[in-house]
Each structure stands twice: as C-alpha cells, then as structure tokens.
Structure 1
Amino acid sequence: MPRILAIDYGAKRTGLAVTDPLGMIATPLEVIPSHTLENFLKDYFEKEDVYRVVIGMPKNTDGSPTNATPLVQAFINRFKKVFPSRELILHDERFTSKMAMDAMITGGMKKKDRRNKGNVDKVSATIILQSYLESIL
C-alpha cells in the first residue's frame, strides 16, 4: 500500500516523516539539507510507493503568513513543476517545533540531542504527518 510523506521545509534543513505501508503510523524518516531535497525526493519516489505528500505550511497564530511562508511557497511551486502527478497537501504547522521539543523531553531525549536542530525538524515533520492523519479520520 502506498505511503504518505511529510515535509517540514526550512531554509537550511528539511525534516521528513513517512507513514507505514498501511498509512496509519507516522515515523521520522530523515533530515537533509534543503538544497538537496529535490534529488532526495526523486530517489525516494523511485524506491517507495508514495501517493501523497503533506507539507507543513507556516502561519502565525492569527493565520497570517510568517517570514518563512514565502520560502515554503517557493518550494511548493518547484515541487509542483518537478512532480506534477504527486498529490500535495498543505497542512498547518503552527506550534510543531514547540510540540517536537516537548515530545523529545517527555521521551527522555538527552539535552545534547535536543540541541541538534535536525532532531527537532524530524520530529516536527512527524507531528505534521500525525496531525494530518488524525484530520482525515
């Protein structure tokens, strides 16, 4: 069964998460430099059956765009050109970094590992994906 992939896009790093083959459980996949994301996705789509991509859309608490919104929108535009047949879903990513940090603390992750921003990005992507999965149930 095809998977769903989530992207937490950032200026430097991008966190990725993916569902299990049944599309029920979100798990962290990878953190990669953002400039390599397009090539990573090409390779990943060749290896794995992904039918939907969910990207976290940054918004302020009032729903207005953030400073990061234009960066994410530029990536979305490139994604649509490079992968026109892939279904792309925009999903609210408000507070995911805070929730990721809280989850890492609750899970007992050491402070040294929590300082690694890549870990936050990966967990944030997982939270975006899990939130999306819950929204479609």
Structure 2
Amino acid sequence: MTATKPSPKSMLSLDLGKRRIGLAGCDPLGITVSPLPPLQRKSFERDLKVLQWHCTSRKVEGLVVGLPLDAKGLPTDQARHYERYGQRLARALKLPLALVNEHSSSWAAAERYNLQGDRSGQLDSAAAALLLEQWLREGPELKPVHVAAHPVSQVNSDSGS
C-alpha cells in the first residue's frame, strides 16, 4: 500500500514499550520535531492523563503510533497489541491516528543520537521523533479511530527507520 504524504500539523508520536512510552512532538508546520520526556508507564488511566496534558498544551491534532513489524513488514503479536492500545488512546483522546512501521527505529535512534545502552527513556523518545519524521515524509494520512485505523496489514511496510 502506498502512503500519501500528510499535510503538516501539530502531532504527538508514541514509541510504545512495556515500561515506557517514548514521546515526540512537532510544530503545526511540521518543521521541527522534538523528543519529549518519556512517559513511565503505570496504568492506562495515568498514561492517558499525561498524554491529555501533552495534547492540550501542544494543541495536538493527531497521534502517530509505531508498530513493530518484522523485517518483511508483517505484523508481530506485539504490533497487534500496540495497534489496539494506540486505537484505545486515540479514542479516549478523541484524536485521529496514523500507524507507522517502527522496525529498527530504536536501533536507528541509538545510532543517530549516540544512545546505545540508554535506559533513561531518551532512546524511546528519540525513536518516537524518528517515527514522527517518517510520518511527515511518508504518511499515511490520519484516520478517525471509529473507522478501522488502517489495520496492521495496511501499515506502510516500506518504511521503518
């Protein structure tokens, strides 16, 4: 599936993990992408409260969630779980969602920002920044979550930092 380059807008990108969620945002013109402090996961309700604060303060218009597809671009069990979690967050935040292939994003972020072995969460947020840069370049367009937000099988598998 070929993705369409989206129109720039203020976005929040999430690199989901079991312990942390890496966060990154961009300005409304999509010019500057910035890693944000990572979110230490506690519960869905607490995660949501922190994300609501970011969305309100940054005037976020949509979410980008990375899915860990395999090297062939096929969904993993973890990708299916993260897709459901991303949809749940997007519904709760009342924001449209874009899913992107995050294959190798942590490795690429570690190389780019010299964060090999990082356990502070900086690496997670750096990976979220790469996902957001990827989305700004390649899409896909945001989809409302009441519509199937492009199931894992339709994520642009050509990408993946």
Task: For structure 1, list consecutive stretches of 5 or more residues without a partner in the other structure.
Answer: none
| 1:38-61 deviation line (CA, Å, top 9, x unaligned) | 111122222221111111011001
The two structures, once aligned, show a CA RMSD in angstroms of 2.1
Which residue number corresponds to residue 108 of structure 2? Answer: 99
Q: TM-score, normalised by structure 2?
A: 0.71
**Structure 1 residue ranges, 4+ long, deviating more than 3 angstroms after superposition:** none
Q: Map 1:16-27 onto structure 2 (within 5 A).
A: 16-27=23-34
**1:28 maps to which of 23, 28, 35:** 35
Query: Which 5+ residue runs of structure 2 have no aligned equivalent?
Result: 1-7, 140-161
1:121 equivalent in structure 2: 124
Aligned residue for 1:53?
63
- Between Structure 1 and Structure 2, the one with more strand by share is 1
- Contact (CA 8 Å) 1:11, 1:71: kept in 2 or not? no
CA contact (8 A) 2:73 2:101 kept: no
More helix by share: 1
Instruction: Quote the offset at 1:30 in angstroms.
Output: 1.7
Percent of paired sites with the same residue: 25
TM-score computed with the length of structure 1 as normaliser: 0.82
Q: CA shift at 1:2, angstroms?
A: 4.9
Q: Point out the more displaced range, 87-96 or 74-83.
A: 74-83
